[in-house]
Structure 1
Amino acid sequence: MPGLEHGLIQSPINILTKSVEQVDSRTITVRYKDEVNAVANLGHTIQLHFAEGSTISAHGKTFQFKQMHFHTPSEHQLDGMTYPMEMHIVNAAEDKENGRIEYLVASILFKMGEENKFISDFREFIPEETHSIQNIQSGRVRLSDLLMVARKNKSEEGLYFYKGSLTTPPYTESVNWYIDKHIYEASPEQIHTIKKIEGHNARKVQKIHDRIIEGS
């Protein structure tokens, strides 16, 4: 449309939980080796890399685990609330029919609280030099240490889902977003350490337009 820099399904967004359309759980199949093999200091973010071979299947496609990175503060909001940190787990699949890459990105929001073992395990490997990468021995950093947390009640279970875009250039509108309803914890020191390296790297929230936000 004239005057629009991008399309109408940009990310991130502010999720109004009262307006979420409840659906049955989506079918997601994860085949995950839990092999984080490197951590990179890209200057604008901290990024962890996966060894090849882990996949997640959804929407009739198989996505390859690629990397996960951090935003400080969070990019997505819940009912107008911004959290101090957000982590994106990026998965990609080649869309040969349209000649582009389709993404599945899982988003995890953090609040300040108890020290997080997962973050503690990789923090010591973050390179001090910008645009450098440090290899990690298999098994030293495990994503399962983050994800396998106990939910205290039913409201913490499930995901929000919507169609959106990458939050960095070129803002490609081919992302299946899954936002975990559970709010994870990291210590203030851990969050400050990551923010000190990457600074404020959150894109502002975008208009939802006519999109439906689903919850399961």
Structure 2
Amino acid sequence: MNCLDKKKRNIGFVKMTADDLNTRISVYMRGLYVEKGMKGSVYLIGKANEEHIIGELFIQNNVGYGEYQIRKNGMTCNYEKDEEIIGISILVGDVRCMCRFQSEETCIQKEDLWLKMKYIYPTVHPFEENHIEKEYLSITPNEISFFSKEDHSLQKNEFLLKGYGNYKYIILIREKESYLIGVPGIYYLTEAANAKKNGFWKFSPVKGGKPYEGAFGYYLKQIRFH
């Protein structure tokens, strides 16, 4: 689901997934030029247009993000069915963004989500060789919430967080129907062994070819992308 400003420009998107007990909502917005430390508020909108606050929107580098898990028929709200939630309201300062769900968008397709992420996150060219069949985005661990829930544990993956801490980015790679996470780093046998323990089985040097001691490149792990 897209988030639109007053001029109908796409400034972000919202993803909602659900099971029998919980509804999980992820919110991403860009172009939020606010004072340092300022936060927004996120509300659920019910069928009667009533609003229930579900949490804060954290803002860093002009990008807002938040993840919220709501127990159905619980203390936060009394929605027993996802159909009773018709949208999201986001308040940042005195600016409010309304994002209404559409029935045909209950499930975001891979292609749709990838295009939306391309609109928000920088396209990069991390390898010297020109891989025409591949696309690359520069992301952070926060965006892992948009992957399949089986991969959400990567947000706490020790090796990934170490690489992100050193270089301040990770990459998301798309090759046809396959998706991989790339953690930047330098190839050493000990580092490669640690990477494998954390699920990153392959290393690709930026200059191509086989891995060699001291080469800069990316430790790779295949992920499932919604």
Tell me the TM-score normalised to structure 2 length.
0.25
Structure number with greater CO (CA < 8 Å, separation at least 6) is 1
Question: Which entry has the higher C-alpha Rg, 1 or 2?
Answer: 2
More helix by share: 2
Tell me the TM-score normalised to structure 1 length.
0.25
